[in-house]
Structure 1
Amino acid sequence: MKTITLFAGAVLGVLSFDSTAADIADLAISSASAKVQLQQVQRIGQVERDAHGTPLQRYAFQPVSQPQIVITSAAGSWNWAGQGALQIQVQNAMPWAVTLEVNVDGAAGQHLRAVVGLPAGPAQALVIPLHATSPRAFGMQAGPPMPFEDRASAVFVATTVEGAIDLAQVREVRLSMPAPQAVQQLLLGKMETSAGDSVLQDAYRNIVDQWGQYTRGHWPEKIDSDAALRSAHAQEQQRLLAQLAERHVLDAYGGRQNIALTRTGWFHTQKANGRWWLVTPDGHAFFSLGINTVTAADTRTYVQGREYMFADLPPDQSPWSAFYGSSDSRDAERGASAGIGANNGRWFDFYAANLYRLDGSNGLPDWRKRTLDRLQAWGFNTLGNWSDDALGKLHRVAYTLPIYINGEFGNVSSGFDYWGRMPDPFDPRFVQAVEHAVANAAASSHDDPWLLGYFADNELAWAGQGPQGRWGLAMGTLCGEARSAAKQAFIATLKKKYGAASKLASAWGITLGDWSALDATNFPAPEPNAAHPAIAEDYSAWLRHYADQYFSVVAAAMHRHDPHHLFLGGRFAVNTPEAVAACAQYCDVISFNVYADLPQHGVDLNAIHKLDKPVLITEFHFGSYDRGPFGKGVVSVWAEEQRGAAYARFVQAAASDPAIVGTHWFEYVDQPVTGRLIDGENSHIGLVGVTDIPFAGFVDAVQKANLGLRY
C-alpha cells in the first residue's frame, strides 16, 4: 500500500477519518488538502478502534433518498496518476448487509462507480479499483464472494466498477447509500490509494482447488481428498438402491398406468377430460419431468491466462492430459459473450477428471449407469435438451433431441441478440440448412419409440427490448440491407396492401418519396403509436408471417424425415403473441424457457388456453451461492435449503395447469466456478456438484415433489 502526502501539486495520500480539527465543524476529515461534507449523515461519538487497533469513526446515514459523505480536494483536484486502487477501512455496524455506493468523480463529468453489499461483521479494507472492471473481464459472469481473508485481514474488493476517469484530475469521492429505509451506521477509517492491480487479482487468486471446488467456501458435500470422494459416492449408491426399490408402478416409458389413453407406439399428445397430456408409446399419460444437459462434457473452463486462479491444477500429463483441451475464442458478436475475458486457449474439465478419480478408465459407462439410476430414483422420466446421446439410447428414460440450424444464410436483428441475430427464414439458403439439420438429427432416431421429440434452435430473438420490444423484429427487418430476403418479403407485403408508397406514408405518418426509399440500409422504421395504428397492424401481420415461414419450413422438413415424433417447438425465452400463435399452428407442443417463481408468472397461460395447445416448460431453475459457484442463476433463493421448496412449488403449479405437460430443470451439473466456455456462466444451479456428488437436501426435496405430483 502506497501512502502519499496531500499538498498542492502532489498526489493523494492518507485521508484520515479520525481527525478532530476544531476549524472544520462536524466534518469527518481534517486535512490541508481535503474537505468533507456530511449530507444527511451524522457523525456519532468518539473515535473507536477495531480488533487491530485501527481508529474508526461512526457515521449514521439517515433514511432519505441519498445520504452521503462527500470528500473533495481543497486544491480543486488530486493527481492519482499511476494509482490502481482506492482503499477505505470500513465496518458495517448493522446486523445485516448494507449497500454502499462509492463514486470517484473527475473532470468533465467523468466518474467511476462501484456498488457493494457490505456484510455485517468485523472491519475490513474496502478496495475500489480505479478503472472499470467486472468478473466478465476475468472470464466469468459472477465474481467470488466478498470479503476474503488476506494475511489474517478481511479484504472486500469491488469486483465490478463502471465508468472511466482521468486519474490526473480527481475532484471528489462520494460515499452514499441508495434510499435506506432506516438509519444505517458505518464505521469509517483511513482512506488511501495504492499502485497496481495486485489486490484485484488477489480477489481471484487460488479460488479453485484440484477437484474444481471453491477453496474459500465450506458446505456439506465438499470433499478434501480422493478417498472422501469415493466414500461419498459409496454412501450414495446405497441410498440409490433403496430409492429405486420404492418407485411407483409405471409403464416401461415412465407413464402413469392408471390413466389409459390412445396407444400409437410413439410418444404423442392427447387432450382428455379437458387436460392435455403427453402419451407414452404404450398409451399412458406422461408428465415429462426432465433435466437439461445431462452430460459429462459440458463442464470445461478456460485456464489459459488465468492459471493463478487454480490452487492445484493437475499437470498436463497422463492421465490428466486427457482432460485438457483448447478452443477458439467465444463469438464476440453474441451478447452472451460480450466483454468476457479469458475466452480462448487451453481449458480443463474438472468434472470429467473427478469421474476418472472415481471410476478410472471406466468412468463414462459407470457415470451413465449411475446417472440413469439417479434420474429414475429421483422421479425424473426425461432427458432434456443437450443431454448425452448415449443415455437416451440405453432406453431407460425418454429423451429429446435438438436440431441445430446453422449455415451461411441471412439474419435479422430484433434488438435482443443475446445468442445472435434471428435467422432469415425467407432466404433460400435457410431452407437448405433446415433440410440438412433435420436430416442429420433424425438419421439415427426416427424409428426409436423412446424419443419424445425434437426442439428447433433455442431462445431465438423473437422480440427486442424495452416498451416497444414486441416490434423489434419488424423494425429490424426494415432496417436491414436491401439484399435481405426478409426485408424484400416485408416490402412486398406492404406494396400488396397499399399499392402506392404515398398511402403507406400517410398511414404510418412518415415521409416516403417512393418504394425504393425502403431499400435504404438503416431505414428509420417508425415505432408504433396511437396516432397511426396502421404501424402496429402492419408490424403484427409481418411478425406472424415471419414466424409462419420459420415454423412451417422446419415442420415440413421434420415431417418428411420423421413422421413419427413430436415437434416440441423452439424453446421461447422472449416471444411475441404472433410467434407463439405460429408455433401453436405448426408444432405439436409450445415450449417455453421460464425463469420465474411460478410458470404462471412467466407464460401467458390464458392466451395458451385460447390456442388450445400443450405447453412444455423446457428450462427453469432456482440457484443460490452457498455451494461453490458464485452465480445464483437467473432465479435465486437466499440459501440452498430453499431451493427444494421453490422447485416443489414450481412443478406442482405446472402440473395443476391443464395445458402444461412437463417441466425440465436447467441443469444437471453445477457450472464451473470460473465459468463455462461458451459465455462464462458460473452458477450453482445443479442437482450435483463438480465432484458428481448430489446436493442431498435438494435432491430429497426434488424426489418428494416429483413422486407426489397432483394433476
Structure 2
Amino acid sequence: MKRVALFVTLALCASPFDHAAAVEVTDLSTATSGTQIQLLQVERVGSTEHDSRGTALQRYAFQPSSQPQLVITPTNGMWNWSGQGALQIDVQNAMAWAVTLVVDIDGAAPNQHLHAVVGLPAGPAQTLVVPLHDASPRSFGMQVGPLMPFDDHGRDVFVATKVEGAIDPAQIRAIHLSMSAPQAVQQLLLGKVDTAVGDASLQDAYRGIVDQWGQYTRGKWPEKVGSDAVLRAGHMQEQHTLNAEMAERHGLDVYGGRQDIALTRTGWFHTQKAKGRWWLVTPDGHAFFSLGVNAVAADNSRTYVQGREYMFVNLPLDEAPWHTFYGLSDSRDAERVASMGLGANRGRWFDFYEANLYRASGADWLTIWRRRALDRLQAWGFNTIGNWSDDALGKMHRVAYTLPIYIDGTFGNVSSGFDYWGRMPDPFDPRFARAVEQAVANATENGRKDPWLLGYFADNELAWAGFGPQGRWNLAMGTLRGEARSDAKQAFIAMLKKKYGEPAKFAAAWGIALADWSALNATNFAAPEPGDAHPAIAEDYSAWLRMYADKYFSTVAAAIHRHDSHHLFLGGRFAVNTPEAVASCAQYCDVISFNLYADVPQHGVDLDAVHKLDKPVLITEFHFGSDDRGPFGKGVVSVWNEAQRGEAYARFVQAAASDPAIVGTHWFEYADQPVTGRLIDGENSHIGLVGITDLPFGGFVEAVRKANLGLSH
C-alpha cells in the first residue's frame, strides 16, 4: 500500500504546564454534551462500532464534493487549551487505501488558524496527535520525518511531525475535519477527541529510530542486516556475482565506448554529431553514451548526532576503533535556503556508512571499497563516475570520470530569490575572474593530461531564475534591487543608458517615474515586473540575462581553455534556468548539463528549444525514490515502492537515449542518504543503488543493469 506523504501546517502557543490536566473535547462515537457537531456533505453511518481493543468509533462517510467536512464547536463560548501540548483524535481509515484528512482549528481572531493535512494509511485504529507548537522534521535535523503510524507501547500513534502557524490556545472556536474534493465516498471511523499535556508523542516519534548500522529500526526489507556477520556475508556473496557479471562485458572499447559505432579518434573525449545525432566520443574514437553515478564516495553519509542522541540505538562509543568515524562540523550558511530552519546543524557527527565498511572489511576498508565500487559500476553497465565522487576512483583508470570546478572566494553576489544553494556570483566583479582563474588552475592540475577525464563542471545548480510565473526575470530584478556598489547593477545601468540615452525615454518605455539615472542606484530599487503594457521591460531584462550569462560562462570557458585545451566544459548543471542562460551555455560550453527531475527528460526540459541550439545535452542528475528501504524521504521524484524504482529508471534512460541531443544520464546518487539527514541540508531519502550498509538493493540494481546494458549494444 502506498504511504501518502505527510504535510501538516499547524501552530502555536504557550509552553505546556506540567500541572495542567488534559482537556476532553468531545467523543464523535457518542452524543457528548458541551459540543455541537455539524455535518456538511458528511453522513453518519450506522451505530457505534468497536475496534479490536474495544475503542468506540463512529463511521462517517465523506461525500464527493468540493470539501465535505465535520465541524466541532463548543456549545457555549470557546475551548481553553492553555497548558496543552497536542490535540488527539481516535481515528481509523475504513478504506482499503490511504485517505487524506484535513484538520483545521480556528482561533478567536480571523488570522489565528491551524491547518493540517495528514495521509492516514489503511489499517487498525490509531491516535492522531497534532502538536500545538512549532515543529517540523527540519527542526529535528532532517527533511522528512519518520513514517507513520508507529507503535507507542502497544498503541498505534500517528504524529503530525510538521507544525506551523499561530493561535491562542486559550481561545479555540472550532475544529474542522475535512477532505479536499474526494472523487468517491471516503469513510472514516472517528472517536474520542481530547488534548494532551506536553509533547511526549512528538519526541517519541523520533526516539530510537536508527540502529547501530544506521538503519531505520521500525522497518523491514530484504537487504536489512541484524549482525556484522550477515553484513560480511552479504559482501562476500556479492563479489562472486560481480565477477560473473563483469565477464559478460563485450563489444566495448577500454573506455566503455561502443565499438560498433566508429567516429573521429582524437586521443581525448570529445563531442561529435553524426547522422543527425550527438555523441560523446571516447579517446579511441567510439560512440559513448555516458551512464554515470554521482557521489561515488565513502564520506557522503555523515549525520549529526549531537543534541539528538536519543534517536540512535547502540550508537558506537567515540573511542577506538569508532573514533575514526566521528567528527565535528558546522553546516550553517545564512544565504542558503537549503539550511534555513534546519536543527541539529552543527557539532558532532557520525558516519555510519564508513563504519559499516570497516565492519565488513577491516582496516583496509577504503581500498577494498574503491575496488568494489568500480567493479559494481562496470558490472552494472555504468561507464562514468559523476560529480562529487572520490578523486582516487578516476585515477584508477577503469571508468571515465568528471571533475567539478568550485568557484569560491570573496566577490559580489546577486539574489534571484531562488538562492537554494546561495546567491548568484557576480561575474562583473573583477574578483570573480580571479577566483575563477584559481579554481580552474586547481581543478585542472592533475587531470589535464589524463585521457580518462571526460570533462569539467562549473559550480552546481546556480540560481539563474526564481520561483513563480515571473521567475524568469528574478535575476534581472534582483540585480536592480542591489546596492549601488554592485558591479552587476552598474553594468546593467550602463546597458540601459547606452540603449535609451535619456532617463525620460527609459522611464516612458518602462512606465515608471525616474527623475535621473542616479535614481537607479537606490538599494531595493522597485524593479517593475514585465507586462503587456510595457514590453520593453521584458526585452531589457532578457538582454541583461543574456549579458549576465555570457559574462559568467565566457569567463569560466576562457580559463578552462587556458589551463586545459583537451577536455570538455560540461556546463553548469542547471536546476533552474532561463532561455538566455541556456543559450549562453550552448555558446561557451561543449555540453549543456541539466539536473533534471521528472519521469522522462522530455517532461523536465524544453528539448525542442534545446535542439535549435544544436548542442549535446547531458542529464547530470535524476533519480526515483521510495520509502520502503529505511530513509523516510522519497527524493525529488517518487514512486510507490522499490520495484517501481527499477521500472522508472529503465523508462528514463530509454527516453533519454531516444533523443538525438542527449548524450548521457547520471544517477543521483550512489548510496542512500542517512535516515536522520545528511550534514549540509538534512536530506534523508532512499535514492541509492546501495544502502547505508553498502549492500546493493538487489532488485533495483538488476533492473538498472539490464537497462544500461541494453543501451550499450
TM over 0.5: yes
Preserved CA contact (<8 Å) 2:21 2:197? no
Structure-to-structure mapping, 1:182-197, within 5 angstroms: 182-197=184-199
Shift of 1:14: 4.6
User: Which amino acid counterpart does residue 95 of structure 2 have in structure 1?
Assistant: M
What's the C-alpha RMSD, in Å, of the aligned pairs? 1.2
Q: Name 2:229's counterpart in structure 1.
A: 227
**Aligned-residue offset at 1:233:** 1.1
* Number of residues of Structure 1 aligned to a counterpart in Structure 2: 693
Q: Percent identity?
A: 77
Question: Within 5 Å, which residues of 2 pair with 1:11-160?
Answer: 12-20=23-31, 30-31=32-33, 33-109=34-110, 110-160=112-162
- Report the alpha carbon displacement of residue 74 of structure 1 after superposing the two structures with TM: 2.4
1:631 maps to which residue? 633
Distance, in Å, in 1 between the alignment partners of 2:662 and 2:172 is: 58
1:655–1:710 contact (8 Å) kept in structure 2: no
CA distance in 2, matches of 1:63, 1:710: 50
Question: Amino acid of the residue matched to residue 58 of structure 1?
Answer: R
Q: 1:420: which partner in 2?
A: 422
Is residue 294–residue 668 contact of structure 2 (8 Å, CA) maintained in 1? yes
Q: Where does residue 27 of structure 1 map in the other structure? A: none
- Counterpart AA for 1:128: V
**Aligned ranges 1:645-656 → 2 under 5 Å:** 645-656=647-658
Instruction: Give the drift of 1:183.
Output: 1.0
Q: Does the 8 A contact of 1:102 with 1:174 survive in 2?
A: yes
Identify which range, 199-208 or 157-166, moves more after superposition.
Answer: 157-166
After TM superposition, list the pairs within 5 Å mapping 1:388-427 onto structure 2: 388-427=390-429
- 1:697 equivalent to 2:708? Answer no
Distance in 2 (CA, whole Å) between partners of 1:75 and 1:318 is 65
CA distance in 2, matches of 1:153, 1:13: 19
Q: How far apart, CA to CA, are the structure 1 residues paired with 2:315 and 2:515?
A: 66
For 2:581, the equivalent position in structure 1 comes to 579
Q: Supply the distance in 1 between the matched residues of 2:184 and 2:259 (Cα, whole angstroms).
A: 58
Q: Does 1:301 align with 2:303?
A: yes
Does the Cα contact within 8 Å between 2:22 and 2:84 map onto a contact in 1?
no
Cα shift at 1:369: 0.3
Secondary structure of the 1:252 match is: coil
Q: Report Cα offsets for 1:516-575 as digits up to 9, x if no partner.
A: 010001111111111111111111110000000000000011111111110000000111
Task: Indicate the residue corresponding to 2:458 in structure 1.
Answer: 456
After superposition, the C-alpha distances for 1:590-634 in whole angstroms (9 at most, x for unaligned) are 000110011111121111111110110000001111000000000
Match of 2:241 among 232, 239, 242: 239
SS at match of 2:480: helix
Match of residue 511 from structure 2:
509
Which residue of 1 is the match for residue 7 of structure 2?
none
Q: Secondary structure at the match of 1:143?
A: coil
Paired residue secondary structure (1:441): helix
1:34-84 superposed Cα distances (whole Å, 9 cap, x missing partner): 222111111111111111111111111111111111111223211111110
The one-letter amino acid paired with 1:39 is: L
The offset of 1:356, in angstroms, is: 0.2
- Cα offset for 1:166? 1.1
Residues in 1 aligned to 2:470 and 2:57: alpha-carbon distance in whole angstroms: 51
Aligned equivalents of 2:21, 2:438: Cα separation in 1: 68
Deviations 1:623-673 (A, max 9, x none): 111000000000011110011111111101111111111100000000000
Do the aligned residues in 1 keep the contact of 2:294 with 2:387 (CA within 8 Å)?
A: yes
* Aligned residues of 1:10 and 1:78 also touching (Cα < 8 A): no
Alignment of 1:286-297 (within 5 A): 286-297=288-299
Q: TM-score, normalised by structure 2?
A: 0.96
User: Runs of 5+ in structure 2 lacking a partner?
Assistant: 1-19
Q: Whole-Å Cα distance in 1 between the matches of residues 460 and 323 of structure 2?
A: 33
The alignment status of 1:254 with 2:246, answered yes or no, reads no
Q: How does 1:429-468 map to 2 (within 5 A)?
A: 429-468=431-470
Deviates more, 1:600-609 or 1:217-226: 600-609
For residue 165 of structure 2, give the secondary structure of its aligned residue in structure 1: strand
**Mapped partners of 1:13, 1:163: distance in 2:** 23
State the match for 1:670 in structure 2: 672
* Corresponding residue for residue 13 of structure 2: none
What's the counterpart of residue 474 of structure 2?
Answer: 472
CA contact (8 A) 2:251 2:260 kept: no
In the alignment, which residue of structure 2 is the partner of 1:382? 384
Q: 1:560 and 1:492, CA in 2 relative to 1: closer, same or farther beyond 3 A?
A: same
- The Cα shift of 1:228 comes to 0.6
Match of 1:609 in 2: 611
Which of 141-150 and 159-168 deviates more?
159-168
Counterpart in 1 of 2:325? 323
Whole-angstrom CA distance in 1 between matches of 2:331 and 2:584? 36
The separation in 2 between residues aligned to 1:57 and 1:11, in whole angstroms, is 22
Aligned counterparts of 2:378 and 2:711: Cα–Cα separation in 1: 15
Distance 1:140 1:10 in 2: 32
Greater alpha carbon shift after TM alignment, 448-457 vs 59-68: 59-68
Question: Quick one: which amino acid aligns to residue 230 of structure 2?
Answer: A
Distance 1:189 1:582 in 2: 61
How many angstroms does 1:11 deviate by? 7.8
Instruction: Name the aligned partner's letter for residue 96 of structure 2.
Output: P
Corresponding letter in the other structure for 1:85 = A
**Structure 1 residue 155: Cα displacement:** 0.6
Q: Which residue matches 1:642?
A: 644
1:192 is paired with a residue of what secondary structure?
strand
Aligned residue number for residue 167 of structure 1: 169
Query: Residue 454 of structure 1: SS of its match in structure 2?
Result: strand
Report the secondary structure of 1:15's partner residue: strand
